[in-house]
């Protein structure tokens, strides 16, 4: 009996052959390059790395439609040199600029940062940066990591001529690129053609633009570059071409010296109208670099807390509830811009939301909550009415004008009528103690303290004998012996 060939079986054999051939090619490449492992980073290795990247670029030109995301990530990761016990000192001492990522295989944060680090390495190479991007397994090479002063994971360090500096930038690939460029002597990017500007816009969504028709002679150019050097977060772009400037900043209405901020948020284009001085430019940048309503994430918490706008209003809500409030919140933020900062926190993200909510005694929140912190005065505030758009705006207005009372954890307000000793709780402390026109004797006690009980009896006796201008006050504070109570703990 004859058997007809099965087309599927032919396809399977062909597919298997292609897979095996691809595997052999990968093995040959890996053995030639040797970036991961033994003597990664030696002169021969770096030459092989350049050859491999050239091959990657050629393949991408020949078959761009087949360039997968996995191949792109793989290419980026090969640009980052793997340090070990043998090559670390030679590479750091032999290169003017080296940025090192210390990681551990078991560290989740390291796993999140490594692909961003690799993407930054790719971007820096495309910009022609001379910095060497390297990583080291701090667990496997613990002695070397200790010598580099890597004490936790992940850790980023910049070595300039062999001397280390701590990394103080953000943790997205773009933020890493910006920080590294500025620290390695490239505070601004110069764009001299529309094509370059178009390519830049595909990769950078937030930047500050400076138009100087004659860079060497234009008033304020040096101050613009100085501001770029002092800032570590935002990419500064300079151009002499008004055509380039109008592509980057369509709202541009002048061909003279101009500075403006571009963002992806509601207020996409913001022109600077002050003097071209570094200090003033940085003030403008710090007041405008955040969105009207900033979404708090684990990667931007440091930037948010360090904002020069210290009065910060936080809206805790679900994503759906926030979307219904988004437009009104932007309007409110626009009205009180530079006076307060509006921040959205996903209430379902317990790692971000609960540390704040517990400060207000809120342990399990499911509905929208609006709170505020004045980081200058170390005070906190809570909107206790319905979080409607009008109530939120009124709350923000009161904060901006200083008419909202700080929030304190508090027991229910007690009934003090006909009491010789007045009981005080958090909500009544200001009125009965701090703002009282009478003399006040304040006792802070705990129910379980024997000594407190004896003192309380003496206070009660005193209250019956005190003059009309004096009163005794009881505060039930669960304090440990020898602790000093503060207003916020009442």
Count of CA atoms in the C-beta half-sphere (13 A) of 32: 13
Tell me how crowded residue 212 is: count the other CB atoms within 10 A of its CB: 22
Q: How far is CA 431 from the centre of its chain?
A: 39
Assign residue 185 a region (left: φ > 0; alpha: ψ between -120 and 50; beta: otherwise): left
Burial class (CB in 10 A: 0-12, 13-18, 19+), 215: middle
- Measure the CA–CA gap between 221 and 210, rounded to whole angstroms: 8
The question of whether 449 is a catalytic residue gets the answer yes
Q: Is 440 helix (H, G, I), strand (E, B) or coil?
A: strand
DSSP 353: H
Cβ neighbours of residue 178 under 8 Å, at least 6 residues apart?
Answer: 169, 232, 233, 234, 235
Could you tell me whether strands 155-160 and 97-103 are parallel, antiparallel, or unpaired per DSSP bridges?
A: antiparallel
**Catalytic pick from 121, 144, 180, 452?**
452
Q: Is 339 helix (H, G, I), strand (E, B) or coil?
A: coil
- Measure the CA–CA gap between 318 and 295, rounded to whole angstroms: 12
Residues 342, 332 contacting (CB under 8 angstroms): yes
End-to-end CA distance of the chain: 95
Helix residue ranges, H only, 103-233 = 108-126, 142-147, 173-183, 194-203, 221-230
Q: How far is CA 479 from the centre of its chain?
A: 37
Q: Is 88 helix (H, G, I), strand (E, B) or coil?
A: helix
- Measure the CA–CA gap between 173 and 115, rounded to whole angstroms: 8
The question of whether 107 is a catalytic residue gets the answer yes
The question of whether 452 is a catalytic residue gets the answer yes
Query: Cα-atom radius of gyration of the chain, to the nearest Å?
Result: 31
**Catalytic pick from 449, 462, 477, 479?**
449
Q: Is 205 helix (H, G, I), strand (E, B) or coil?
A: coil
Q: Is 383 helix (H, G, I), strand (E, B) or coil?
A: coil
Q: Is 351 helix (H, G, I), strand (E, B) or coil?
A: helix
Catalytic residues: 107, 449, 452
């Amino acid at each position: 009996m004859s058997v007809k060939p099965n087309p599927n079986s032919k396809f399977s054999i062909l597919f298997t052959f292609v897979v095996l051939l691809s595997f052999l090619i990968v093995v040959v490449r890996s053995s030639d390059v040797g970036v991961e492992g033994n003597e990664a980073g030696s002169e021969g290795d770096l030459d092989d790395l350049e050859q491999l990247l050239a091959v990657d670029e050629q393949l991408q030109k020949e078959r761009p439609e087949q360039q997968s995301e996995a191949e792109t990530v793989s290419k980026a990761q090969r640009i980052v040199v793997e340090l070990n016990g043998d090559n670390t000192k030679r590479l750091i001492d032999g290169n003017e600029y080296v940025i090192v990522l210390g990681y551990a295989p078991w560290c989740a944060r390291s796993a999140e940062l490594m692909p961003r680090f690799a993407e930054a390495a790719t971007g820096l190479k495309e910009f022609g940066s001379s910095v060497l991007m390297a990583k080291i397994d701090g667990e496997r090479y613990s002695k070397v990591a200790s010598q580099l002063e890597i004490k936790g994971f992940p850790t980023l360090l910049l070595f300039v001529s062999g001397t280390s500096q701590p990394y103080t930038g953000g943790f997205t690939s773009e933020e890493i690129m910006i920080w590294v460029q500025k620290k390695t002597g490239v505070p601004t990017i110069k764009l001299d053609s529309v094509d370059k500007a178009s390519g830049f816009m595909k990769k950078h969504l937030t930047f500050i633009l400076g138009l100087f028709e004659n860079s060497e002679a234009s008033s304020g150019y040096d101050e613009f570059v100085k501001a770029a050097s002092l800032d570590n977060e935002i990419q500064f772009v300079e151009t002499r071409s008004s055509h380039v400037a109008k592509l980057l900043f369509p709202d541009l209405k002048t061909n003279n010296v101009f500075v403006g901020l571009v963002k992806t948020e509601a207020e996409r284009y913001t022109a600077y109208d002050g003097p071209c001085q570094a200090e003033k430019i940085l003030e403008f940048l710090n007041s405008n670099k955040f969105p009207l309503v900033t979404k708090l994430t684990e990667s931007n918490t440091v930037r948010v807390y360090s904002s020069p706008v210290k009065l910060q209003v936080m809206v805790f809500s679900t994503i759906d509830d926030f979307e219904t409030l988004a437009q009104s919140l932007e309007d409110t933020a626009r009205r009180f811009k530079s006076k307060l900062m509006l921040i959205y926190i996903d209430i379902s993200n317990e790692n971000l939301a609960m540390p704040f909510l517990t400060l207000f005694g809120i342990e399990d929140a499911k509905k929208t909550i609006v709170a505020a912190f004045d980081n200058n005065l170390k005070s906190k505030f809570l909107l206790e009415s319905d979080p409607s758009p009008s109530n939120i705006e009124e709350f923000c207005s009161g904060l901006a004008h200083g008419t909202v009372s700080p929030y304190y954890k508090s027991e229910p307000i007690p009934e003090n009528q006909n009491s010789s000793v007045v009981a005080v709780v958090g909500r009544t402390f200001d009125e009965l103690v701090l703002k009282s026109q009478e003399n006040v004797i304040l006792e802070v006690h705990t129910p379980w303290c024997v000594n407190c009980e004896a003192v309380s009896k003496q206070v009660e006796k005193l209250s019956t004998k005190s003059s009309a201008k004096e009163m005794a006050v009881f505060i039930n504070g669960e304090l440990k012996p020898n602790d000093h109570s503060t207003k916020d703990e009442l």
